[in-house]
Amino acid sequence: MRAPALTLTCVLTCALAAPAGAFPHVVRTGETAASIAERVYGAVEAERVIVAANRLEGSGSGALVPGMLLEIPAVSYHQAAPGETWHSIAAELLGAGERGILLAQVNGAEPWLPPAAASEIVVPYNLRYVVSVGDTPDSLAYRFLGRRDRAWMVAVYNGLKDGRLHHGDVLLIPLVDLPLTASGKAEAATALGLVRSQAGGAARALQARADAEIPELVSDVRHGRYVEAVGRGAGLLAASGLAVPQLAAVHRALTEAYVALGAPGLAATACSEWRRVDPGATLDPVLVSPKIVEVCVGPAGMPPAVPAPSSAAGADAPGAGSAPGAASVAPRAAPGPRGRP
């Protein structure tokens, strides 16, 4: 079984930590929305974004007091995983799958074509705005998106049928053009690092979810669902925050899947990552497919054999019960049966 090259393109290590859609800022003495906008965005006029995001309309220049906590809007980024579509990404990150049309367009793509695996996608910041008397899609587009001819974005994003707005309506304005200055990026990195350090439990929840999904990944490999295994494994790695044993299990499964799919380069990378996070892992040439040994250590680098386990131990090993055609790799002293990818 062989999959197209595009299907096999995935990130074997998750290096991208997507920033949140906004970062916190504590107001200091003498600061105004305009001065913060100039420092963070490099544009005084961007104060309207800060004002709207923090519902400061009509509060006057004295609305900010030292110690006040503000939300500073910023775009975020998402690394597309195999199998994701613009619709699925928009449903997860923007609240509605229909917004995938705009998400694709702001990323210079066609909404009916899936994003390339591992491609970095800009995710708009959802600015919540309460409609005032006299507001129209045109005026809001000019105010927040810079051009009146972007009124269609406001309408499509909010599912407006006739484009008519009513006082008190709540809209979401998709902000994409929010480049941060060097000072803004530094502040965002510091603020988000503090937020992540106080998150307490987010990593634990992620790891609990991985504990439930890794057996499914192993099952995909054992039953020859190699393309599905690649997609599932890439999704687990893209989340980041996995424990070391979980990372080892995912990279081990990806090694088998890539070998079976005839992608030795990707298999070698996956095996390298597996052995990096689990230096004690062994490859028994008696029990492991020669193809796996070759991508892991090269044809001339066959590792020394390790003692074969007893029949009872073999029955409980992670590789036990593999379906014909599935490759098996021996983790430490608990190898599974030979496979033939």
* pLDDT at 9 (0 to 100): 28
**DSSP states along 128-164:** EEE--TT--HHHHHHHHHS-GGGHHHHHHHTT-SS--
Does 127-175 carry CATH code 3.40.228.10? no
Mean pLDDT calculated for residue range 276-295: 81
Query: If pLDDT is split at 50, 70 and 90, which confidence band does 298 have?
Result: low
pLDDT digits (tens, 9 = 90+) for 200-256: 455 667 778 888 889 999 999 999 988 888 888 888 887 667 788 888 899 999 998
pLDDT digits (tens, 9 = 90+) for 68-80: 889 999 988 888 8
Query: If pLDDT is split at 50, 70 and 90, which confidence band does 63 have?
Result: confident
Candidates 3.30.200, 2.40.10, 1.10.150, 1.25.40; correct CATH number of 204-316?
1.25.40
Q: Tell me the average pLDDT of the chain.
A: 77
Output phi, psi for 15, to 5 deg: -100, -10
Q: Where are the chain's structural domains?
A: 127-175, 204-316
Contact 19, 77 (CB under 8 A): yes
Residues 213 and 72: their CA atoms lie apart, in Å, by 35
Residues 265 and 236: their CA atoms lie apart, in Å, by 20
Residues 129 and 311: their CA atoms lie apart, in Å, by 66
Mean pLDDT calculated for residue range 24-28: 89
**309, two tokens:** 């386990």
Mean pLDDT calculated for residue range 280-287: 76
pLDDT digits (tens, 9 = 90+) for 244-272: 888 889 999 999 898 888 888 888 888 88
Residue 90 CB neighbour total at 10 angstroms: 23
Say what percent of the chain tops pLDDT 70. Answer: 75
